[in-house]
């Protein structure tokens, strides 16, 4: 017997803010959840699994129209001729109260009730599947104690959408403990809700979050996919994670401390990109690049914000590796300026440095000064477009202050050259 376990598919999840980003592959990103689901159905058929288990959040929320539901209905229907059963629990995003539109039921697809946990037995496979759907989005009680007892002589699978012991990246829903899952006597716990793959327990029972099927933003990095589990004589004999994402998100950090010019930055970027992606040309790679270090490039970026991102974008024009889109470049560069000497100057440079030192030493004054400065702008800067300035942390205000100082000093002291420095010029 073989089954496939997936969760958190979030079909047709909206990807906000992409239209504002020049060159964003909007259509491909928006279609990624569908393409990954098609790949999952293809995999189930090609691997000849007996069951597909979907542990919650098949949808991202109520359908905008019937096209979302029809797409899922059509894909699940492809499994029926192959004798593949489907078991679904609803999670917080597609709870009973959330999905208002309905389509006809399919005989091979079983959606667990939200009223109580119950069991589906498949005698021909020697399997019992236990589960319960969310009745509404915010389920705060532990559902596990009410799950049915394990069926003797069967391989028992429990399906549950849960935050388990909690996660900083996810809201707390249907929380429970590992010891309670173990006490069910089940052989495999198919969990959903946590988007990063986690093997919570290797065996007796095996407890797994497969992660979501397709990363949707820059915090959901790395391979995304599903689990395939093989069972023989009531025992798990093989487990396999299969990546199915068609768009993969990455975080790439580059140290710039020793770089003297943009040519060196370009070379370091493409080299690091090759190491990160290998030869994977099967999907689109979306990369958020972080630049850090006390660097000679800092004054250049301060005087011409966006120039380093442009350098990296230009490097991709000559890149012959896998397909890449740079989602954002986040700069955490620091100035090589001698602050003590600059603070002692009697000119505008010294005045700026002294003001910054004063603000940096008083979080309340810095926040008030910063809010007043932002309020005078017609629009928020790009990096703050998704933020609420009055909710920024002291550390965020300090970072903004450092950026503002660098920009002003770059113009005042003419630390940059008219054109971006190359290695030869450095």
pLDDT tens column, 75-95: 999 999 999 999 999 999 999
Residue 111 is assigned to a structural domain of this protein: yes
Claim to verify: residue 267 and residue 148 sit in the same structural domain: no
pLDDT tens for residues 3-58?
999 999 999 997 665 655 777 888 889 999 999 999 999 999 999 999 999 999 99
pLDDT tens for residues 182-220?
999 999 999 999 999 999 999 999 999 999 999 999 999
Claim to verify: residue 154 and residue 274 sit in the same structural domain: no
Name the E strands within 214-355: 225-232, 235-243, 247-255, 284-294, 324-334
Here the tokens at position 270 are: 């493409």
Claim to verify: residue 254 and residue 146 sit in the same structural domain: no
Claim to verify: residue 150 and residue 24 sit in the same structural domain: yes
What is d(CA 112, CA 6) in angstroms, rounded to the nearest whole number? Answer: 16
Is the pLDDT at 96 greater than 90? The verdict is yes
Claim to verify: residue 203 and residue 263 sit in the same structural domain: no
If you average pLDDT over every residue of the chain, what do you get?
91
The domain total for the chain is 2
Residue 356 is assigned to a structural domain of this protein: yes
Lowest pLDDT segment from 166-175, 265-274, 398-407, 417-426 = 417-426
Claim to verify: residue 229 and residue 294 sit in the same structural domain: no
Residue 216 is assigned to a structural domain of this protein: yes
CATH number for position 18: 3.60.21.10
Claim to verify: residue 146 and residue 253 sit in the same structural domain: no
C-alpha distances (whole Å) from 172 to each of 91, 93, 183, 211, 380 are 12, 13, 22, 16, 32
Residue 425 is assigned to a structural domain of this protein: no
pLDDT tens for residues 294-353?
888 988 888 888 999 999 999 999 999 999 999 999 988 887 777 788 788 998 888 888
Is the pLDDT at 420 greater than 50? The verdict is no
Residue 418 is assigned to a structural domain of this protein: no
Q: Which of 64, 60, 70, 116 is nearest to 92 (CA)?
A: 60
Is the pLDDT at 416 greater than 80? The verdict is no
Please say which residue of 218, 243, 268 terminates a domain: 243
* pTM (2 d.p.): 0.83
The pLDDT of residue 3 is: 98
Claim to verify: residue 158 and residue 109 sit in the same structural domain: yes
Please say which residue of 243, 271, 294 terminates a domain: 243
Claim to verify: residue 258 and residue 194 sit in the same structural domain: no
Full domain range(s) for residue 84 = 2-243
Please say which residue of 183, 213, 243 terminates a domain: 243
Claim to verify: residue 239 and residue 264 sit in the same structural domain: no
Residue 421 is assigned to a structural domain of this protein: no
Claim to verify: residue 82 and residue 164 sit in the same structural domain: yes
Residue 324 is assigned to a structural domain of this protein: yes
Claim to verify: residue 277 and residue 216 sit in the same structural domain: no
The pLDDT of residue 426 is: 38
Q: Which residues are within 8 A (CB) of 163 and not within 5 positions of it... i.e. 6 or more apart?
A: 170, 171, 172, 173, 174, 175, 193, 194
Residue 379 is assigned to a structural domain of this protein: yes
The pLDDT of residue 131 is: 98
Task: Judge whether 307 and 329 are in contact, CB under 8 Å.
Answer: no
What is d(CA 192, CA 195) in angstroms, rounded to the nearest whole number? Answer: 8
Residue 325: strand, helix, or coil: strand
Query: What is the per-residue DSSP string for 89-116?
Result: E--SSS-TTT--------TTEEEPPSSS
pLDDT tens for residues 225-240?
999 999 999 999 999 9
Mean pLDDT of 91-101: 94
What is d(CA 17, CA 151) in angstroms, rounded to the nearest whole number? Answer: 49
What is d(CA 112, CA 91) in angstroms, rounded to the nearest whole number? Answer: 11
165: confidence class by pLDDT, cuts 50, 70, 90: confident
């Amino acid at each position: 017997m073989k089954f496939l376990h997936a969760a958190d598919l979030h079909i047709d999840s909206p990807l906000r803010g992409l239209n504002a980003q020049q060159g964003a592959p909007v259509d491909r990103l928006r279609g990624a959840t569908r393409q990954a689901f098609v790949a999952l159905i293809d995999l189930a058929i090609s691997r000849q699994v007996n069951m597909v288990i979907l542990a919650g959040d098949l949808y991202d929320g109520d359908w905008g129209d019937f096209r979302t539901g029809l797409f899922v209905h059509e894909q699940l229907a492809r499994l029926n001729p192959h004798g593949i059963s489907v078991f679904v629990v609803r999670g917080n995003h597609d709870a009973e109260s959330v999905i208002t539109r309905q389509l006809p039921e399919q005989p091979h697809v079983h959606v667990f009730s939200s009223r109580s946990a119950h069991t589906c037995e498949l005698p021909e496979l020697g399997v019992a599947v236990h589960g319960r759907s969310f009745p509404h989005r915010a389920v705060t009680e532990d559902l596990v104690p009410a799950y049915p007892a394990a069926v003797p002589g069967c391989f028992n699978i429990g399906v549950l959408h849960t935050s388990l012991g909690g996660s900083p990246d996810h809201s707390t829903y249907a929380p429970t403990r590992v010891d309670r899952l173990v006490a069910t006597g089940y052989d495999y716990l198919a969990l959903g809700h946590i988007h990063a793959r986690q093997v919570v327990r290797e065996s007796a029972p095996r407890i797994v979050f497969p992660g979501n099927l397709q990363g949707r933003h820059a915090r959901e990095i790395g391979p995304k996919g599903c689990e395939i589990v093989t069972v023989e004589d009531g025992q798990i004999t093989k487990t396999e994670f299969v990546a199915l994402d068609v768009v993969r998100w990455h975080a790439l950090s580059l140290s710039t401390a020793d770089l003297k010019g943009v040519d060196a930055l370009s070379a370091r970027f493409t080299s690091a990109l090759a190491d990160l992606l290998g030869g994977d040309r099967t999907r689109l790679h979306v990369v958020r690049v972080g630049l850090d270090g006390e660097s000679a490039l800092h004054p250049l970026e301060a005087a011409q914000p966006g120039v380093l991102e442009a350098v990296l974008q230009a490097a991709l024009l000559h890149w012959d590796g896998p397909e890449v889109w740079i989602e954002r470049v986040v700069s955490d560069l620091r100035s090589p300026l001698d602050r003590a000497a600059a603070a002692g100057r009697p000119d505008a440079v010294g005045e700026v440095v002294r003001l910054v030192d004063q603000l940096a030493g008083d979080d309340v004054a810095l926040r008030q000064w910063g809010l007043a400065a932002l309020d005078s702008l017609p629009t928020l800067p790009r990096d703050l477009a998704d933020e609420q300035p009055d909710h920024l942390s002291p550390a965020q205000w300090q970072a903004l202050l450092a950026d503002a100082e660098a920009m002003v000093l770059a113009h005042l002291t003419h630390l940059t050259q008219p054109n971006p420095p190359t290695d030869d010029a450095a």
